[in-house]
């Protein structure tokens, strides 16, 4: 395992942790928006639900990148 590969993996893991924290914040705000009433007419809830979907897709993409790098560089975990 070379130093550059390890730095790349750590960089992507850091980005993933940041996205996970942001996702938790979105889900908390989404929960608060749910309490505001009719979800069909609740723009905040709908917007936060879309944001949550986007963050989940980004997190999955980063997990795939990390997995690929770890497979290319055994012992990087």
User: Tens digit of pLDDT for each residue in 21-50?
Assistant: 999 999 999 888 888 777 667 888 889 999
DSSP collapsed to 3 states, the chain: CCHHHHHHHHHHHHHHHHHHHHHHHHHHHHHHHHCCCCHHHCHHHHHHHHHHHHHHHHHHHHHHHHHHHHHHCCCCC
pLDDT at 1: 67
CATH code for the domain in which residue 62 is found: 1.10.287
Number of domains in the chain: 1
Mean pLDDT of the chain: 90
Q: Residues 3-17: what's their mean pLDDT?
A: 94
Domain that holds residue 44: 3-70
Q: Is residue 48 part of a domain?
A: yes
Q: Is residue 30 part of a domain?
A: yes
């Amino acid at each position: 395992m070379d130093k550059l590969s390890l730095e790349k993996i750590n960089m992507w893991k850091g980005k993933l942790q940041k996205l996970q924290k942001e996702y938790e914040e979105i889900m908390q705000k989404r929960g608060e928006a749910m309490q505001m009433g009719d979800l069909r007419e609740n723009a905040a809830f709908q917007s936060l639900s879309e944001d949550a979907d986007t963050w989940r897709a980004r997190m999955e993409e980063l997990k795939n990148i990390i997995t690929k790098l770890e497979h290319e560089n055994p012992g990087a975990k």
